[in-house]
Chains A and B, each alone.
Chain A
Amino acid sequence: KAGVTQTPRYLIKTRGQQVTLSCSPISGHRSVSWYQQTPGQGLQFLFEYFSETQRNKGNFPGRFSGRQFSNSRSEMNVSTLELGDSALYLCASSFTGGEADTQYFGPGTRLTVL
Chain B
Amino acid sequence: AQSVAQPEDQVNVAEGNPLTVKCTYSVSGNPYLFWYVQYPNRGLQFLLKYITGDNLVKGSYGFEAEFNKSQTSFHLKKPSALVSDSALYFCACPGPGGSYIPTFGRGTSLIVHP
Residues of A at the B interface (CB closer than 8 Å) are 4, 6, 31, 33, 42-43, 45, 48, 50, 55-56, 58, 90, 92, 94, 97-108, 110
Cβ contacts under 8 Å, B34 to chain A: 102
B43/A4 in contact, CB under 8 A: yes
The B interface, classified by DSSP as helix, strand, loop or mixed, is loop
Q: How far is the CA of A55 from the CA of B106 in the complex (A)?
A: 24
The A interface, classified by DSSP as helix, strand, loop or mixed, is strand
B100/A58 in contact, CB under 8 A: no
Residues of B at the A interface (CB closer than 8 Å) are 32, 34, 36, 41-46, 49, 51, 90, 94-95, 97, 99-102, 104, 106-107
Q: A48-B100, A102-B34, A105-B45 are in contact. List 4 more A-B contacts (CB 8 A).
A: A42-B107, A43-B104, A92-B43, A102-B46
Q: How far is the CA of A81 from the CA of B45 in the complex (A)?
A: 29
Cβ contacts under 8 Å, B101 to chain A: 45, 48, 56, 58
